[in-house]
Structure 1
Amino acid sequence: MNGMPVGNVLQKDHLYEQVADLLEQQILNNYEDGARLPSEQHLAEEYSVSRTIIRESLKLLKERGLIDSKTGSGSYVTRPEAQNIADVVYRIIQMDQIDYVSVFDMRMILEMESISRAVNHVTTAEMKEMEHLLELLKDPKLSNEKRSKYDFSFHYMIAKASGNPLLALMTEAIGTICQEMIHKAFLLQDSLQDSIARHNLIMNAIKARDEKAAKEAMRGHLERSKRNYEEYLQRQQEG
């Protein structure tokens, strides 16, 4: 580590958060995934704070998904996972009471762009993975939980095939709430067969590299998914 940046003055309020911010910058600029951080004592001396402050700062960095602590060994740099973002997004949606309409709108924005790009960038390996997921979805013995997981994985693969890693990341970030909605929609009678048919339309358009047909199939599928979820909500209200 190159030492504390010149000009950064630590204030007493929330000191551990400020140290964590400085450490985060050091990690992003100077450390590779898997690298071991200096000891707590070394960091305490470098930042002129107590080991208690360093310990709290490291806990915060662990919550941010930037490090992993190993008992008796120290702290190691880790790559933040999309699930970290997904968890945060899910909490925000719940706490801010963001309605399902906004969620579907965001999904439409992301997935229409994904399918448009995927048609032109998808690889043979990615298409095989999509087809494999569709085969899994056809199993009538699948639990709704696994079915919703495979369903969203198919959509994530399309985002991944777009060739834009951030588009895939943002799609994965709303995965938790989307899987929850998909799970509930599958509780409706006949929704499964309709979903499989619509996924097949999307897959066939991707294989034909027909962008117009792929976008139409995706839009129709997402609009039907929204209606299914609305029907589920209505039935719940009716008791």
Structure 2
Amino acid sequence: MEAMPIQRKTMSGEVVSQIKEMIERGRLRPGDRLPAERKLAEQFGVSRTTVREGIKILSESGLLASRQGAGTFVSERDGGSREGSLIEAVLAGNYGLHDVFEVRKMLEPEIAALAARNGSPDAKTRLEAILMEQEQAILTGGTGAGFDHQFHQALAEASGNPVLREMVTALHEGFSRSRAEGVQSSQRQKASLAAHRAIVEAVKHGHAMQAERAMREHLDEVERIIFDNQRGILSRR
């Protein structure tokens, strides 16, 4: 299986696009097993985490199927050709960041509240672990962007609603453009980390209203920082 190296960073959507193209062109057929994550990461020129995220998106859309102990395979059924679906539309860039933020602010505060009400001890422990990894990444000079995605995904999983989990996956893939290195300011990193701490604390103690409020404030702040940064970049051109 041949693959073109991916040029843009942290773009699991590019992995999704390339694997889909291979399937559409018949280079991967129903029932075929995908190469190992390590091999795909080398071929695409990205990290194994990025490959894993891309495979997860395709698995949730039905195009791929993971079999425990055997690997990941192209689905035998045509479960992934959902033209016009939310995930497909967002990955294709059909919606702008303003659109994505508007929907995120409608959904994610309620997701945080549901996580506080429904989250299992294991789900809450996972949120704390991701928060610690994000903090460590930032302290060692990274952006923590990958852990930001994991945090919101884990929060949706803690809500107990699989539909919300899939919607968050779609929204955050479209939102990945805002996680590009150029807008990963120190201000945004610190704001994200502090907000995640507040959300985890509320979820951990089952405080649904506080979790909802903390998420709403987080999204408002991130939106302001991103668009302030974008305006600043445009003004310098």
Superposition TM-score, scaled by structure 2 size:
0.61
Higher-Rg structure is: 1
- For the aligned residue pairs, the C-alpha RMSD in angstroms reads 3.2
Residue 86 of structure 1: how far off its partner (Å): 7.4
Aligned residue for 2:113? 116
* Alignment partner of 1:141 is 2:140: yes
Classify 1:112/1:184 alpha carbon distance in 2 versus 1 (closer, same or farther; 3 Å). farther
What's the CA shift string for 1:156-202, capped at 9, x where partnerless?
11111111101111111122122331345852232222221111000
- Tell me the residue number matched to 1:90: 90
| CA pair 203-186 structure 1, distance change in 2 beyond 3 A | farther
Q: Distance in 2 between matches of 1:64 and 1:168?
A: 15
What are the Cα deviations for residues 50-71 of structure 1, in whole angstroms up to 9, with x where unaligned? xxxxxxxxxxxxx972689xxx
**Change beyond 3 A, Cα 1:64–1:137:** closer
Deviations along 1:98-150, one digit per CA (max 9) or x if unpaired, are 32211101111221221121111101111111111101111222533xx2121
Residue 65 of structure 1: which of 58, 63, 70 is its match? 63
Equivalent in 194, 198, 201 of residue 195 of structure 2: 198
Aligned sequence identity (%): 22
Q: Is the 8 A contact 1:133 1:150 kept in 2?
A: yes
Alignment partners' CA distance in 2, 1:113 and 1:123:
17
- Equivalent residues in 2 for 1:173-192, closer than 5 Å: 173-183=170-180, 187-192=184-189
2:155 alignment partner in structure 1: 158
C-alpha distance after superposition, 1:179-232 (max 9, x if no partner): 331345852232222221111000000011111111110000000010011112
Number of residue pairs matched by the alignment: 167
**Counterpart for residue 130 of structure 1:** 127
Amino acid at match of 1:90: V
- Checking the alignment, whether the CA contact within 8 Å between 1:205 and 1:213 is kept in structure 2 is yes
Residues 1:225 and 1:103: Cα distance change in structure 2 (over 3 Å): same
Residue identity opposite 1:88 in structure 2? E
- Distance in 1, matches of 2:122 and 2:161, equals 17
- The code of the aligned residue for 1:181 comes to S
Bigger relative contact order, structure 1 or 2 (CA pairs below 8 A, ≥6 apart): 2
Counterpart position of 2:76? 77
Pick closer, same or farther for the CA change 1:132–1:142 going to 2, 3 Å: farther
Contact 2:134 2:147 in 1 (8 A): yes
How far apart are 1:89 and its partner, in Å? 2.8
3-state SS, counterpart of residue 180 of structure 1? helix
Give 1:65's aligned amino acid: L
Which stretches in structure 1 are left out of the alignment for 5+ residues? 1-32, 35-62, 69-74
Partner of 1:207: 204
